[in-house]
């Protein structure tokens, strides 16, 4: 009969074992033997609130968004070729905020397309549409191309099936090398990130077998390798455990604070304690700014304008629901539109005034690998794929040679009289070509089934 200790050991040996207890033992009040139940209910998380260390007295980098408006163009390439009028849909309007070194901003939103559009515009990866406003970094006005070269944007990527976590991060470090070698090179930086993000237990396991939380940390580590000054992260924490969310948020704010970087994370905090882990909060509704300030000021602001949060309710969820447009009925839609417009007008009346600040040094572009490094990375990718899945590859090669041998035996009795010899040899080449084309189609079909 297995005991509780044996079950714990079996869980720890499993590749799906979540290291929540080991990673969060010092931060979460999970022990009911040492802490009273009342304290557990009041404050279930022991991560400290963000301590303001960002300054505006010449510290860099600084990010200043000045009256930014964006409308997406839904014309097709054919419509553009015919010079038809643009079909625009406004995603956000008149967005302004300022971030300094060490800031970690949480972006709360009501519509995912607005959040993605805002982050893509700041990162310089948005499609060419109607864009009004300015983006300044260290007092310098940035173009779309310069933003794309200096800001890191975490995009969701597909998992490699056969590469391990360490191999995948090493190849990514070759394709996206770090800006400096002060961390001991990309290899040492990868090992350090594996340790800091608690990926040691799964570093030699295939990326396709890790859980969602671990894969989220891997996606963030890919861009932390580049050591960017500004890091933008969409809402990729929504499907992972609450404890792992807090762990990632705490790591990002610590990274931004200690290295004087800026982090913008789109997220819905599950409690006011999680919200206080950030330095600033931006609430976006219907493409307009409803609130911008510190997490401590959020409930105070809504209480002052006559919208206090009810007791026993999460303030973050309540305020997001308050500014969400309701499309269930025409009456609810009209009522929510009026409420949102009133909140927008109130914020505009008491909104903050920003300045682009003093002019500092121009941020250098994120480094790009050389052609040789790219070739080495691509070759390494395919070699490791073959090495990690050697059985399947050998079986495929065996099938190729078997079928080619059968074909050669079948038409080995070739005539030496022209034109029959020429036609027979052409038929043989056609058979071989047909086999390889069918094999490539089968391989693509298998990949589609796996995905």
Q: How confident is the model at residue 449 (pLDDT cuts 50, 70, 90)?
A: low
H helical segments located in 176-211: 185-196
Q: Is a pLDDT exceeding 90 seen at residue 251?
A: yes
Distance CA 65, CA 143 (A): 13
pLDDT value, residue 428: 61
Beta strands in 250-400 (DSSP E): 262-266, 280-285, 288-293
Decide: 135 and 147 in contact? Cβ < 8 Å: yes
Q: Which domains does the chain have, with CATH numbers?
A: 4-42 (no CATH), 63-350 (3.40.50.300), 390-450 (no CATH)
**The whole model's pTM is what?**
0.77
Structure-token match 């009925």, residue found: 329
- If pLDDT is split at 50, 70 and 90, which confidence band does 34 have? very low
Q: CA 338 to CA 133: how far, in whole Å? A: 26
User: Which residues on adjacent β-strands are paired with residue 13?
Assistant: none
pLDDT at 22: 44
Higher pLDDT pick, 262 / 418:
262
Grade residue 15 by pLDDT with cuts at 50, 70 and 90. very low
pLDDT for the residue numbered 423: 57
When pLDDT is cut at 50, 70 and 90, the band that residue 119 belongs to is very high
Whole-angstrom CA distances from 341 to 133, 280, 286, 289 are: 21, 23, 9, 11
Q: What pLDDT was estimated at residue 450?
A: 56
Residue 312: its pLDDT value, please?
A: 83
Mean pLDDT of 114-124: 92
pLDDT band at 17 (very low <50, low <70, confident <90, very high): very low
Residue 38 has pLDDT above 50, yes or no: no
CA distances from 62 to 124, 141, 190 (A): 17, 12, 27
Q: So what's the pLDDT on residue 63? A: 92
Backbone torsions φ then ψ of 327, nearest 5 degrees: -110, 15
Residue 355 carries which DSSP code?
-
Q: Write the pLDDT tens digit of every residue in 416-447.
A: 555 655 555 566 666 666 666 666 666 666 66
> Which band of pLDDT confidence, cut at 50, 70 and 90, is reported for residue 28?
very low
Q: Strand (E) positions, 192-339?
A: 230-233, 262-266, 280-285, 288-293
Least trusted range by pLDDT, from 32-41, 157-166, 312-321, 402-411: 32-41
The pLDDT of residue 233 is 94
Higher pLDDT pick, 415 / 37: 415
Higher pLDDT, 290 or 5: 290
pLDDT at 325: 85
pLDDT recorded at residue 363? 81
Measured distance CA(197)–CA(57) in Å, rounded: 32
Residue 223 scores a pLDDT above 80: yes
Model confidence pLDDT, tens digit, residues 342-358: 999 989 888 676 766 66
What's the angle, vertex CA 167, arms to CA 166 and CA 171, rounded to 5? 120
- Looking at residue 439, its pLDDT comes to 61
- Asked whether residue 46 carries a pLDDT value surpassing 80, the answer given is no
Q: Please give the pLDDT value at position 14.
A: 33
pLDDT at 176 over 80: yes
9: confidence class by pLDDT, cuts 50, 70, 90: very low
CA nearest neighbour of 246 among 276, 274, 217, 215: 274
- Please determine, for residue 146, whether its predicted confidence score (pLDDT) is greater than 50: yes
The side-by-side arrangement of strands in the sheet containing 88-99 is 88-99, 63-73, 130-137, 140-141
Is a pLDDT exceeding 90 seen at residue 104? yes
Of residues 1 and 126, the one with the higher pLDDT is 126
To the nearest 5 percent, what fractions of the chain are helix, strand and coil?
50, 15, 35
The percent of residues above 90 in pLDDT, for the chain, comes to: 23
Residues comprising the chain, all counted: 451
């Amino acid at each position: 009969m297995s005991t509780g200790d044996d079950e714990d050991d079996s869980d720890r040996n499993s590749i799906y074992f979540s290291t929540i207890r080991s990673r969060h033992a010092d931060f979460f009040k999970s022990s009911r033997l040492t802490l009273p139940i009342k304290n557990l209910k009041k404050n279930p998380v022991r991560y400290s609130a963000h301590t303001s260390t960002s300054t505006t007295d010449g510290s860099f980098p600084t990010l200043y968004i000045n009256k930014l408006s964006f409308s997406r163009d839904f014309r097709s390439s054919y419509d553009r070729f015919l010079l038809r009028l643009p079909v625009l849909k406004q995603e956000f309007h008149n967005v302004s905020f300022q971030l300094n070194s060490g800031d970690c901003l949480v972006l709360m939103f009501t519509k995912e397309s607005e959040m993605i559009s805002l982050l893509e515009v700041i990162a310089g990866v948005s499609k060419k549409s109607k864009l009004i406003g300015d983006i300044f970094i260290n007092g310098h006005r940035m173009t779309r191309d310069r933003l794309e070269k200096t800001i890191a944007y975490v995009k969701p990527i597909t998992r490699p099936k056969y590469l391990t976590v360490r191999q995948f991060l090493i190849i990514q470090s070759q394709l996206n090398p770090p800006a400096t070698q002060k961390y001991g090179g990309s290899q040492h930086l990868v090992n350090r990130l594996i340790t800091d993000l608690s990926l040691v237990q799964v570093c030699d396991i295939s990326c396709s077998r890790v859980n969602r939380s671990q894969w989220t940390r891997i996606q963030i580590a890919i861009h932390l390798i580049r050591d960017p000054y500004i890091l933008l992260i969409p809402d990729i924490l929504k499907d992972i455990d609450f404890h792992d969310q807090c762990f990632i948020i705490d790591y990002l704010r610590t990274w931004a604070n200690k290295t004087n970087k800026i982090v913008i994370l789109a997220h819905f905090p599950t409690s006011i304690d999680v919200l206080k882990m950030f330095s600033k909060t931006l609430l976006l509704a219907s493409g307009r700014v409803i609130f911008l300030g510190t997490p401590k000021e959020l409930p105070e602001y809504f209480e002052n304008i006559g919208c206090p949060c009810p007791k026993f309710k999460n303030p973050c969820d309540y305020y997001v629901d308050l500014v969400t447009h309701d499309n269930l009925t025409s009456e609810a839609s009209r009522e929510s539109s009026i409420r949102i417009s009133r909140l927008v007008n109130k914020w505009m009346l008491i909104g903050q005034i920003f300045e682009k600040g003093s002019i500092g040094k121009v941020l250098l572009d994120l480094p790009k690998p050389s052609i040789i490094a790219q070739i080495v990375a691509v070759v390494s990718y395919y070699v490791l794929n073959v090495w990690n899945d050697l059985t399947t590859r050998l079986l495929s090669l065996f099938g190729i040679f078997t079928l080619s041998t059968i074909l050669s035996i079948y038409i080995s009795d070739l005539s030496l009289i022209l034109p029959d010899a020429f036609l027979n040899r052409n038929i043989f080449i056609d058979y071989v070509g047909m086999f390889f084309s069918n094999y490539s189609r089968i391989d693509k079909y298998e990949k589609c089934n796996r995905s």
